[in-house]
A and B are shown apart, each in its own frame.
Chain A
Amino acid sequence: MEAAGVGEVRPPAPKGRRERLELFTARIPFWVKLTLVWICIFIVLGALFAAARFDTDLMKEKFSFIARGLTWTVIVSAMAIVLASVLALLGALGRLSRNSIAFGVTGFYTSFFRGTPLIVQMFLIYLGLPQIGAGLGGPWLEILSFDALTAGVLALGLNYGAYMTEIFRAGIVSVGHGQAEAADAIGMTYRQKMRRIVLPQALRVIIPPTGNEFIAMMKDSALVSFLGTVVARMEIFRRAQLVGRETFQNLEPLIVAALIYWGLTTVFQYFQGRLEKRMSKGYVRGAATPAAKPAMLPGPAGGVGGGAMMTAVEALEAGAGPGLEETEAGTEAAIHEHEEEP
């Protein structure tokens, strides 16, 4: 009947089906269309799964077993991102230093760890270092032998630290030279200048790409499973593989694993978005001063970078239990929140 109403107002020129359709869909709000698109995608996927005789009972049964790997995925990623951030900061300061030792060592570090595959680095640390330890003799064999998870954390941290060195370097450079001069002029030491003036401003530039690196790392933590771990410490992907081998059904556990990774990264992105908003204080002319602060980030307000990251991790761990439905609902909600912004 809406089409009829339009027909009366407009000139009675004959309209093609296509044009009528265009006019009709133009009135539907964007978010409604978006929801429909998402529903269609899930219907198509559902149909495909049905065709593969999807065993939802197996998924339900094995969900909690696989989801328990979330703890280790999060622990490995969180420890590795802390290591990577520390290395990236030192690396960036080294690359910006005029000290030949600092510049040379960090140059070698970034070149090697960016130039070789992550999986090779993992095996080098897990299998190669003990060999060096054995050659050195004495206590070295003990010192250079790591269990699979530790080796995984070291490799992920070293590898991502090398990439993030460039992010940190660019962030520090983005803080104008004048700011460093202003800090020098009031008599700050190098450390004070970095800690109080340069790094807080650099963080604004560093955080968004670092969030991306963290998301990539949460996924790359699956590589640790190739080193082999005891059942109690298996992360998500290894557990999914194990279920697949045991039941000869691979699709279901892998889908469960993929959904858990997806939920994890989406929740993290949501918190990253909030953190970025908070960091823009002092850079947005319209933003009100102190009064608006509490509204922007409720919950435990920690130090700038690490605090919000830990908030995200805590939320993930809390949300790991309830079940797939809840995780998915959270995913959808977060997606809508993002899509509505533009």
Chain B
Amino acid sequence: MAAGANDVVLRVEDLHKTFGHLEVLRGITMELRRGEVVVIFGRSGSGKSTLLRCVNFLEEPTQGVIEVAGIRVEVGHRTREKREQIRQLRIRAGMVFQDFLLFPHMSTLQNVMEGPVTVKGKSAEEARGRGMYFLERVGMADKAEEYPIRLSGGQKQRVAIARALAMEPDVMLFDEPTSALDPELIGEVLEVMKSLSTELHMTMLVVTHEMGFAREVANRVAFFHEGIILEEGTPEDVLTNPRSPETKRFIDAVL
């Protein structure tokens, strides 16, 4: 907390993940400093989403170390102690899913209040106030009493962002947040994500195909290829002058 603005919020060390015989992650090492936005891109099946899901242990990595805001978890059997470490890590790492995954039996505001009240033990009053503040941030305050089924995809995703924000995490993980949206709804979600960086200086690790967002918001981009980070650097370097032929081929195909 008291550490300088340059401290490392997320650290991934030599992360491996195999599904059966398939090695999806083959040794990933990366660091995010406070306030940094890193965009991961690459072909589908290259392991980008798996990396994100391994960072908060929704997927069990095969080997490696994850550290979020000082909570350092080595991969291994989930003993009682390790489960608690993982839970502490998750509280500090907000996750936004491709398919939103709002809780359908709760109103928008209840969705946003759920984590602070149930997990952090905040009072309902306090959580309601903070919840409305975060809904305001994502432009959804007027839908506070609405149930998720009555929202559009873009609105759902904005509420999902507010739900993750309400936990006041140290880093936010975005797993293809706009991939399930109709094209005309993508902009509103990207706009909210951008504001998190510019206004809240939120540290973000984003898996996306939105190269415009990467160019505009990211401090660094990383090209994922066959389970490793093939190329990494500022958006200008990587997106305009890719060094490896694979990166160049992918960028040419997307842009």
A233 at the binding interface (Cβ < 8 Å): no
Query: A201-B104, A201-B105, A283-B104 given as contacts; is B148 within 8 A of A187 (CB)?
Result: no
Q: Is the CB of B58 within 8 A of A181?
A: yes
Closest to B87 in A: A187
Any A CB within 8 A of the CB of B250: no
A178 touches B87 (CB 8 A): no
Q: A192-B119, A281-B147, A283-B149 are in contact. Are A186 and B90 (CB under 8 A)?
A: yes
Whether B97 contacts A282 by the Cβ 8 Å rule is: no
Nearest Cβ on chain A to B249's Cβ, whole angstroms: 33
Q: Are B103 and A182 in contact (CB under 8 A)?
A: yes
A282 touches which of B91, B118, B148, B164 (Cβ 8 Å): B148
Contacts of B163 in A (CB 8 A): 186
Chain A contact residues, majority secondary structure: helix
B103/A186 in contact, CB under 8 A: no
* The residue from B101, B105, B114 contacting A178, defined by CB atoms under 8 A apart: B101
Interface-side segment among A6-14, A69-77, A79-87, A284-292 = A284-292
B88, chain A: closest CB distance, angstroms: 7
Q: Is the CB of A186 within 8 A of B115?
A: yes
Task: Type the 1/0 row for A266-296, where 1 means its CB is closer than 8 Å to any CB of B.
Answer: 0000000000000001111100011000000
- Let me know if B145 is at the binding interface, CB within 8 A: yes
Closest to B119 in A: A187
Whether A189 and B150, one on each chain, are in contact in the complex, defined by CB atoms closer than 8 angstroms, is no
Q: How far is the CA of A330 from the CA of B251 in the complex (A)?
A: 72
- Nearest A residue to B167, CB-CB: A186
In the complex, the answer to whether B145 meets A182 with C-beta atoms within 8 Å is no
**B88-116 interface with A by 8 A CB criterion:** 88, 90-91, 94-95, 97, 99, 101-107, 114-115
**CB-CB contacts below 8 Å: B30-63 with A:** 56, 58
Beta-carbon nearest neighbor of A182 in chain B: B101
Shortest C-beta distance, B73 to chain A (Å), equals 13
Whole-angstrom distance from the CB of B54 to the nearest CB of chain A? 13
A residues in contact with B102, CB < 8 Å: 182
Task: Work out how many contacts link A and B, with CB atoms closer than 8 A.
Answer: 74
Judge whether B146 is part of the interface by a CB distance below 8 angstroms.
Answer: yes
Most buried by A among B105, B150, B163: B105
In the complex the two chains form, is B114's CB within 8 Å of A196's CB? yes
Return chain A residues, CB-CB under 8 Å to B150. Answer: 285, 289
| Given A181-B58, A181-B97, A282-B147, A187 and B103 contact (CB-CB distance below 8 Å) | no
Separation of A262 and B175 alpha carbons in the complex (Å) = 55
A285 and chain B: residue at smallest CB distance: B149
Contact A200:B105 (CB < 8 A) given known A187-B87, A192-B119: yes
With A178-B97, A284-B149 already in contact, the answer to whether A192 and B106 are too (CB < 8 A) is: no
Which of A181, A187, A201, A281 has the largest count of B CB atoms less than 10 A from its CB?
A187
Q: How far is the CB of B164 from chain A (nearest CB, A)?
A: 7
Are B90's CB and A282's CB within 8 A?
no
Alpha-carbon distance A290/B163, docked complex (angstroms): 21
Closest CB of chain B to A310's CB: distance in Å?
Answer: 22
B55 to chain A, nearest CB (A): 11
**Cβ of B105: which chain A residues have Cβ within 8 Å of it?**
200-201, 204, 281-282
Check A328 for interface membership: any CB of B closer than 8 A: no
A147 / chain B contacts, CB cutoff of 8 Å = none
A184 contacts the other chain (Cβ, under 8 Å)? yes
Smallest CB-CB separation from B53: which chain A residue?
Answer: A181
Bound-state CA distance A181–B115 (Å) is 13
Does A188 lie within 8 Å of B119, measured CB to CB? yes
A187 engages B107 (CB within 8 Å): no
B-side contacts of A181, CB under 8 Å: 58, 97, 101
Q: Is the CB of A187 within 8 A of B145?
A: no
B147 A186 Cβ-Cβ under 8 A: no
Q: Answer whether A179 and B148 are a contact pair too, CB < 8 Å, given A184-B90, A188-B118, A189-B87.
A: no
Task: Give the CA-CA distance A337 to B88 in the complex, in Å.
Answer: 52
Closest chain B residue, CB of each to CB of A181: B58
Question: Which of chain B's residues has its CB closest to A290's CB?
Answer: B145
Establish whether residues A185 and B148, one from each chain, have CB atoms under 8 Å apart when the complex forms.
no
B104 contact set on A, CB distance < 8 A: 201, 282-283
Query: In whole angstroms, how far apart are the Cα atoms of A152 and B164 in the complex?
Result: 50
Please, how many angstroms separate the alpha-carbon atoms of A185 and B166 in the complex? 13
The residues of A that contact B164 with a CB separation of less than 8 Å are 185-186
Looking across the interface, which residue of chain B has its beta carbon closest to that of A281? B147
The 29 listed contacts between A and B (C-beta, < 8 Å) are A178-B99, A178-B101, A179-B103, A181-B97, A182-B95, A182-B97, A184-B56, A185-B95, A185-B97, A186-B91, A186-B94, A186-B95, A186-B114, A186-B115, A186-B119, A186-B164, A187-B87, A187-B90, A188-B115, A196-B114, A204-B105, A282-B106, A282-B147, A283-B104, A283-B149, A284-B149, A289-B107, A289-B146, A289-B150
- The chain A residues found within 8 Å of chain B, CB to CB, are 178-179, 181-182, 184-189, 192, 196-197, 200-201, 204, 281-285, 289-290
With A179-B103, A186-B119 known, 8 other A-B pairs at CB within 8 A are A184-B56, A184-B90, A185-B56, A186-B164, A187-B87, A187-B88, A192-B118, A289-B146
